[in-house]
């Protein structure tokens, strides 16, 4: 049995929104916002991407490997790169070989609930486009400004770092459809949208206690299947940032269409003797 340890689709206050995820799921599932739905994830809607915090260093001089560190094992299947302290420890997030910056650090927490709310646990966006400095550094994760991901049915997820480029999400709703909007702090437009939630049917229950999942052999609410799809959102965004162009994605084959450079980011070679 498998548990992916981000829990906002299951319980807990969802960052700056002033609500749990369940009421948002009820609004969307029962059509009160209309369709398709756009979701904006930025500092202005309650979500800090920590881009500067988890950016890599580009000019650190190589240093001797500390005797207590098995650096070869630490690198694992990643290419060999000269050691310096910022490459390891928590700051490993700032290097493409091991992480994906603040977007990958926070993305699973921020985007898994979005995927659940939009009922996208079995699919992925078909178009991904990013705005970021170009070209990206080949080793160190850096700045990005905006990523827009669009599903086949027209639903969109817009990410803004608010640390580079222009920002369009200030004053905009977190979630918006043709019938209504939800803002940070759980303010709705029209205001009576929030009042309707209590009368709406509850979402299908999920197992939120891993002990129950183990005993019953039934999937935990956040598992290897839906977790793969939500994690894929993070990597799709970073692939668009790294390639510097609009990407088309096949959610069934889980490959980019007509873009082998982007597909090489999906299947990166392993350093010997590591293999699958």
State yes or no: pLDDT of 268 exceeds 90.
Answer: no
- Round to whole Å and give the CA distance between 16 and 187: 12
| Per-residue tokens: 148 | 């827009």
Tell me the pLDDT band of 154, cut-offs 50, 70 and 90. Answer: very high
176: Cβ contacts below 8 Å, ≥ 6 apart: 33, 37, 38, 39, 40, 182
As beta bridge partners, residue 176 has: 38, 181
Do the strands 255-256 and 38-41 form a parallel or antiparallel pair, or are they unpaired?
A: unpaired
- Round to whole Å and give the CA distance between 202 and 98: 39
23: Cβ contacts below 8 Å, ≥ 6 apart: 186, 194, 197
What stretch of H or E contains 40?
strand 38-41
Give me the DSSP letters along 56-124: PPSSPPP-PPPTT--HHHHHTTSPP----GGGSGGGGGGBTTT--HHHHHHHHHHHHHHHHHTT-TT--
Short-list 38, 30, 31, CA closest to 153: 38
Q: Across the chain, what does the average pLDDT equal?
A: 96
Q: Domain ranges for the chain, please list them.
A: 15-53+64-266
The answer to whether 51 touches 144, Cβ cutoff 8 Å, is yes
Tell me the pLDDT band of 267, cut-offs 50, 70 and 90. Answer: confident
State yes or no: pLDDT of 109 exceeds 90.
Answer: yes
- Round to whole Å and give the CA distance between 155 and 111: 14
Report the Cα 188 to chain-centroid distance in Å: 25
CATH entry, 15-53+64-266, from 3.40.30.10, 3.30.300.30, 3.30.2130.30, 3.30.360.10: 3.30.360.10
pLDDT tens per residue across span 35-54: 999 999 999 999 999 999 99
Do the strands 187-189 and 247-250 form a parallel or antiparallel pair, or are they unpaired?
A: unpaired
pLDDT tens per residue across span 63-75: 999 999 999 999 9
Tell me the pLDDT band of 259, cut-offs 50, 70 and 90. Answer: very high
**Model-level pTM?**
0.95
């Amino acid at each position: 049995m498998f548990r992916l340890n981000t829990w906002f689709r299951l319980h807990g206050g969802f960052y700056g929104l002033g609500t749990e995820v369940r009421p948002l799921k009820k609004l969307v599932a029962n059509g009160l916002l209309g369709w398709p739905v756009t979701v904006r994830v930025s500092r202005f809607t309650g979500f800090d991407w920590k881009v500067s915090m988890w950016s890599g260093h580009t000019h650190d001089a190589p240093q001797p490997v500390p005797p207590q560190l098995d650096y070869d094992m630490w690198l694992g299947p990643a290419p060999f790169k000269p050691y310096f302290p910022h490459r390891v420890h928590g700051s490993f997030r700032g290097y493409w070989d091991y992480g994906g910056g603040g977007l990958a650090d926070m993305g699973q927490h921020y985007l898994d609930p979005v995927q659940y709310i939009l009922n996208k646990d079995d699919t992925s966006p078909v178009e991904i486009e990013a705005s970021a400095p170009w070209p990206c550094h080949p080793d160190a994760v850096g700045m990005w400004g905006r990523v827009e991901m669009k599903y086949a049915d027209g639903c969109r997820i817009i990410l803004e770092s608010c640390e580079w480029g222009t920002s369009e999400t200030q004053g905009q709703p977190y979630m918006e459809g043709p019938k209504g909007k939800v803002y940070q702090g759980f303010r709705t437009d029209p205001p009576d949208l929030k009042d309707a939630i209590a009368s709406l049917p509850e979402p299908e229950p999920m197992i939120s206690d891993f002990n129950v999942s183990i005993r019953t052999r039934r999937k935990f609410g956040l598992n290897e299947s839906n977790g793969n799809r939500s994690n894929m959102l993070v990597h799709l965004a970073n692939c668009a940032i790294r390639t510097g162009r609009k990407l088309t994605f096949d959610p069934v084959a889980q490959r980019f269409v007509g873009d082998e450079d982007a597909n090489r980011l999906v299947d990166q070679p392993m350093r010997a003797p590591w293999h699958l």
